[in-house]
Structure 1
Amino acid sequence: MIDAMTRRSVLQTASAGFATAFSADFAAGAAPALAAVPAAKSGRVLRPDFLWGAATSGHQVEGGNVNSDSWVTEHLTPSAFPEPSGDACDSWNRWREDIALVKRLGLNTYRFGIEWARIEPERGEWSMAALAHYRAMLDACAEAGLKPLVTYSHFTVPRWFAGLGGWEVAANVDHFVRFCEMAARALGTGYAHALTFNEPNLTAQLLWQRDFKAAAPFFAMGNAEAAKRIGTERFSSTLTAPPEAVFANMASAHHRAIAAIKSVRPDVQLGLSLAVADEQAAPGESARAAKIVQVYQPWFEVVARDDFVGVQTYGRNVVGREADLAPPEGVELTETGMEFYPEALGATVRWVAGATGRPILVTENGVATSDDTRRIAYIDRALASLAKVIAEGVDVRGYVHWSLLDNFEWNRAYTAHFGLVAVDRTTFARTVKPSALHLGAYARANRI
């Protein structure tokens, strides 16, 4: 038996060598050697239409999203962002390469977002070129045999929309609904699943973290400065707007967007994704019940008639008397300061399925780490927990990993590495990590 540190060193060395060889094979167009990674350990065969995928969002990978609200706030001084998104992963130009990666890894699903700020850069001005770009992505997915999962709104909005008060103004819902209908008509029939919103409950969840709540005045000052920057009286960005000011409008936008999209595509499966942590009560007095009422219950009611619910889980929160507690002393932490806790996935899927009565699609799950052996361990343990709830009879339709690429992680910029594939910040060259093929082995076997 070897000790844990020696074992990790051996794994890291082997992983580095495998990554180099595997990336070379990819560059040459060779098929990956499936025997190079462990096969799925369980004999549980999943439904034949189970979605195995990797995810990206437009702003985080495309680069140059200059007409978005985030681009404005990234360039303020001071800014909540340590650096701007810039060219990101240059996926606006390299999307064909990204789609080819998803296919050759053995996955069958690519989740990507369409950027409203590119499609409607100014109010009422539609970019046919941007719509054609996203349509081409869907066509390429079809040619590769992939099932696209489209996100209509992944946090970012056009700067003009933020300048109108964003989601804090009820009249602005009309703009989003028109965008969704326009996009649905332009995108055609090349996708079967879509999300209206990505994690509309995230800000409410983050406000239970002491450091995020303490930063609220800074965000308010940033919005005021952003308004000056674009010449408007106000500026409301999705991730800094008060949850109580936007909930009703975003809920209405979700329902009306579904109706608009289904008026064009009645066959498409629609839902939204929720940020869901395994919320555990601290010993003694805990505000867990109050947190659930505030962060989750309203959205559970919103999705009650959706085709599915997207669950996005990264770990657990231990809820104290007034806020989430810091991770326990001595536990393994990720690059975002979260506790390494893969088993949260099974708990959240079970909980959301029971609370909503809807089918579940895991639309994000992953870990921020530069040690790919830990990502492999995370995937194994997360999928093992998912296998248990599937065995219990929970209707789980798929598992989509966050993320395909190391990308722009908002206020973490480029310091949090969630990707199955590394991206060189200068050349944008993609380097496949061992964890990518490890996940692909599960997908090819379609069992966990």
Structure 2
Amino acid sequence: MFGRSGRPRAARALSALTVAAAAALTAALTGQPLATAAVPGGAHATGSGPATAKFPPGFLWGVATSGFQGEGSFPDSNWTRYVERRATGVTDPYNDSVDFRHRYPADLALARELGAKVFRTSIEWARVEPRRGVRDAGALAYYDDLVRRIRAAGMRPMITLDHWVYPGWVADQGAWDDPRTQDDWLRNARFLVDRYKRQGVIWITFNEASAYLYKELVTRPMNPAQLATMRTALVRTHRAAYDMIHKVDPGAPVSSNVAYGTVFNGIFDAALFNDVTDKLDFVGIDYYYGANLENFSAAYALTGEFWRIDPEPEGLYYVLKNYQRRLPRLPLYIVENGMATDDGKPRPDGYTRTDHLRDHLYWVQRAMAEGVKVAGYNYWSLTDNYEWGSYRPRFGLYTVDALTDPALARRPTDAVATYRSIIANRGVPSGYVPVRRPGWCSIEDPIATCLGTTPTPPAGYRLPG
């Protein structure tokens, strides 16, 4: 009944089936044969240091943005209204953002030059259907060409159907308070999925449902009853959308990316994720900030001062391992990861965008070396953009002075060359020593890290500054 390992043969068989299922899903994402997609490794570091897996040849390197945040010339929507009335958290006018709507061919060229294989953006409902039942032919021509050019550049479209923005007429009918919004949303989603089916799209239904709820709570604003109604509506709509997408675009991977929320992560997951784990083809994770007993600076996210947060790169290692442990049948995809600077200025501690990128990907490689199945990674974002009320937080690989530069020039940061090199070399350099040392007692895995079992980093961590 038992093999040499002491585990029942049935349990070992179930484990093998689980690994095989995750491998198949990873292959569907990457488009690689199962043997390539399933094996996290390749070359490993040698010597006394910890092993880090090279990213496999079919790994999905990407960049991410969203329609409202970058397109400019935006039609009537909940967010154009929030900006106009200077709702809570809105400090800057929207203007034309970084004008992606008219500069997308050049921006796609920048992404292609990085070696990116995925380009994530959203197709904006407010632009496609500015009035109920009336679709804008010009908007559709723009999105048709955008998808065509993404594919022509050798990249795969990752399309978000809802990145927190809905048409003004939906706001007028009560937004998610009104049950009609679920049907209207699904009708629009089906139209878009049917239009872009069989083009290798990776579909995201709702971006960060927890943050969507929070933004509407404080910006719209909503009362607790409305918040509960919206949460229920998002869960029901995602579940219906998942089934619809698989019917209309068979084989296309579908998910709703979760925002990792440090001490609040249980609440964040309860927003939607916990109720839809059977309606996900991969776990999409947005990781920006962690916390430990030496670093609680993630609290600055509550005030929008993202540049004041001290990153915790090793937290991504624990987050990946935890989600893999919870859903071993599913591959993982880091849908968003990045670092804000204060209006483009260097950080006072000397920690650069290059440091941040390399440190985080080092820990991804550590997780993969230990068997975590990671299918892809998107950097947020290709360019600076409108961060929900302000241009001050700068996340872009290319920086853009949206408020002061009429030309909206894209100027490369130090991380452009770094990301290009990482993609070309399938990971950080051999023997890389992360800049940021792990903090003590991480919120991401307190049992392991508070008891002194944190993974041993290579010797010689250097501190910024």
Task: Normalising by structure 1, report the TM-score.
Answer: 0.75
Look up the SS of the partner of 2:335 in the other structure.
Answer: strand
Q: Give, in whole Å, the separation in 1 of the partners of 2:232 and 2:102.
A: 37
Structure 1 partner of 2:335 = 363
Q: 2:422 pairs with 442, 445, 448, which one?
A: 442
Per mean C-alpha deviation after superposition, the further-off stretch among 74-83 and 177-186 is 74-83
1:97 partner letter: A
Give the 3-state SS of the residue equivalent to 1:84 in structure 2.
coil
Equivalent residue for 2:154, pick from 115, 128, 145:
145
Q: Does 1:301 align with 2:275?
A: yes
> What is the distance in 1 between the residues matched to 2:267 and 2:105?
41
Q: Structure 1 pair 327/268, CA: closer, same or farther in 2 (3 Å)? A: closer
In the TM superposition, residue 335 of structure 1 has moved relative to its aligned partner by: 4.2
Equivalent of 2:84 in 75, 78, 103: 75
The equivalences for 1:112-261 within 5 A come to 112-202=121-211, 219=219, 223=221, 243-261=227-245
Q: 1:378 to 1:334 in 2, by over 3 A?
A: farther
- Amino acid aligned to 2:278: A
Please say if residues 111 and 151 of structure 1, whose CA atoms lie closer than 8 Å, have aligned partners that are also in contact: yes
1:191 Cα offset (Å):
3.0
CA shift, 1:172, in A, is 1.6
Deviation at 1:340, TM superposition (A): 2.2
Report the counterpart of residue 417 of structure 1 in structure 2.
394
Q: In structure 2, how many angstroms separate the alpha carbons of the residues matched to 1:405 and 1:424?
A: 10
2:119 aligned counterpart, secondary structure: strand
Match of residue 272, structure 1, among 237, 249, 256:
256
Which of 43, 53, 61 is the equivalent residue of 2:70? 61
Deviation of 1:422 (Å): 1.2
- Give secondary structure in 2 for the equivalent of 1:253: helix
Q: May I ask how many residue pairs the two structures share in their alignment?
A: 365
Deviation at 1:165, TM superposition (A): 2.0
CA distance in 2, matches of 1:447, 1:347: 19
Q: Deviations 1:159-186 (Å, cap 9, x if unpaired)?
A: 1112222223333211111011111122
Q: Secondary structure at the match of 1:316?
A: coil
Percent identity between matched residues is 27
> Match of 1:87, SS?
coil
Residue number in structure 2 paired with 1:376: 354
CA distance in 2 between counterparts of 1:45 and 1:293 reads 31
Q: How far apart, in 1, do the equivalents of 2:391 and 2:282 lie? A: 32
Partner SS state of residue 243, structure 2: helix
Amino acid at match of 1:396: V
The one-letter code of the counterpart of 2:427 is R
Instruction: Give the secondary-structure state (helix, strand or coil) at the position aligned to 2:394.
Output: coil
| Corresponding residue SS for 1:410 | coil
- Using the alignment, how far apart are the partners of 1:77 and 1:362 within structure 2? 32
Report whether the alignment pairs 1:402 with 2:380: yes
Q: CA deviation at 1:192?
A: 3.0
TM-score normalised by length of structure 2: 0.72
Cα distance, 1:416–1:88 mapped onto 2, change above 3 Å: same
Distance 1:242 1:389, change over 3 A: farther
After the TM superposition, list the runs of 4 or more consecutive aligned residues in structure 1 that deviate by more than 6 angstroms: 40-43
Cα distance change of structure 1 residues 365 and 403 upon mapping to structure 2, 3 Å threshold: same
Stretches of structure 2 lacking an aligned partner (at least 5 in a row): 1-43, 46-50, 429-465
Cα drift, residue 387 of structure 1: 1.0
Alpha-carbon deviations, 1:266-295, whole Å to 9, x = none?
12111110111344xxxxxxxxxxx45433
In 2, the alpha carbon distance for the partners of 1:314 and 1:103 equals 24
What is the match of residue 310 of structure 1? 284
Q: Is the 8 A contact 2:53 2:368 kept in 1?
A: no
Contact kept, 8 Å, 2:54 with 2:365, in 1: the verdict is: no
Gaps of 5+ in 1: 1-39, 207-211, 224-235, 280-290
RMSD: 2.9
- Take 2:229 and 2:266, find their aligned partners in 1: how far apart are those partners? 16
1:242 shift after superposition: 5.3
Q: Distance in 1 between matches of 2:242 and 2:205?
A: 7
Match of 2:95 in 1: 86
Partner of 2:410: 430
SS at match of 1:201: helix
Q: CA deviation at 1:112?
A: 1.0
Give the C-alpha shift of residue 446 in structure 1: 2.0
Measure, in 2, the Cα distance between the counterparts of 1:265 and 1:355.
Answer: 27
Counterpart amino acid of 1:301? D
Q: 1:347: which partner in 2?
A: 318
* Residue 313 (structure 1) shift: 0.8
State how far apart, in whole Å, the 2-side matches of 1:184 and 1:78 are.
33
The answer to whether the 8 A contact 2:52-2:368 is kept is: no
One-letter amino acid of the counterpart of residue 396, structure 2: G
Deviation at 1:203, TM superposition (A): 5.4
| Deviation (angstroms), 1:65 | 1.4
